């Protein structure tokens, strides 16, 4: 394990020196997973499925987790198997209370001081991303938001969507870095040459994870502290 961690430090050092573009996932990455935004959304998803498919909420919860695990986002399964309108579904489930999200002035300062451009790459919708970024107090730092609609409802970790995102923003993957709380979403980024940071939260949302995976150049449980260390020169 010590040898692997040393390898990660070397890779991170080599890649961070050339970073010009910073790509951030949104939910559970730019705020703590303990805020439980995901589970608020899951509740709305199950209620929506119950209403539109004609099953109980408990049955919907089982099916939702099956679709999430298989397709990356629930809506793909609902589109494929139930002909659900993705726009209606997405607008409905993102109407959640975000009052629990704390303003993060330290993160605001860190992102402001990062050299280069910053982007959001999310499986959610743009209006939700706008609300979250404004609530956390960091909206003004981002050049663009690549959402599930720009991806034509094909989610991360489909590698083709990463290529489209990079092309849309004109990002050179070898000069960029990606942050995500979902470990599986970092594998395609690594394959394309991006540096990767796994923002490991307290909640994994029933996704399997590996310990010290080779496709994660760095692992942190606190994105703000990690960025502070980068800016202080402790991570090069």
50-87, pLDDT tens digit by residue? 999 999 999 999 999 999 889 989 999 999 999 999 99
End-to-end alpha carbon distance in the chain = 21
For 198, the token pair is 């796994």
Instruction: Please tell us whether the domain made up of 2-33+101-231 is placed in CATH 2.30.40.10.
Output: no
**Class of 37-93 in CATH:** mainly alpha
Whole-model pTM above 0.95?
no
Other beta carbons less than 10 A from residue 208's beta carbon? 8
Please state the domain extents for the chain. Answer: 2-33+101-231, 37-93
pLDDT of residue 117: 98
Other beta carbons less than 10 A from residue 220's beta carbon? 17
Average confidence (pLDDT) over 6-11: 43
Least confident of 11-15, 60-64, 159-163, 167-171: 11-15
51: part of which helix (H) or strand (E)? none
pLDDT of residue 86: 96
């Amino acid at each position: 394990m010590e040898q692997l961690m040393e390898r990660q430090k070397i890779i991170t050092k080599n890649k961070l020196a050339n970073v010009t573009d910073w790509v951030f996932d949104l939910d559970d990455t730019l705020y703590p997973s303990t805020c439980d935004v995901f589970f608020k959304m899951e509740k709305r998803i199950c209620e929506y499925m119950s209403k539109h498919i004609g099953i109980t909420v408990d049955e919907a919860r089982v099916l939702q987790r099956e679709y999430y695990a298989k397709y990356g986002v629930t809506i793909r399964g609902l589109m494929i198997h139930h002909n659900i309108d993705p726009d209606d579904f997405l607008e409905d489930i993102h109407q959640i209370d975000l009052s629990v999200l704390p303003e993060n002035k330290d993160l605001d300062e860190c992102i402001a001081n990062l050299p280069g451009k910053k982007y959001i790459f999310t499986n959610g919708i743009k209006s939700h991303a706008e609300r979250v970024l404004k609530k956390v107090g960091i909206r003004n730092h981002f050049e663009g938001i690549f959402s599930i609609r720009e991806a034509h409802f094909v989610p991360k970790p489909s590698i083709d969507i990463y290529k489209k995102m990079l092309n849309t923003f004109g990002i050179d993957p070898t000069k960029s870095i990606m942050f995500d709380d979902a470990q599986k979403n970092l594998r395609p980024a690594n394959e394309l040459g991006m540096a990767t940071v796994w923002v490991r939260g307290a909640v994994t949302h029933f996704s399997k994870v590996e310990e010290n995976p080779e496709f994660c150049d760095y692992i942190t449980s606190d994105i703000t502290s990690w960025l502070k260390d980068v800016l202080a020169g402790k991570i090069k």
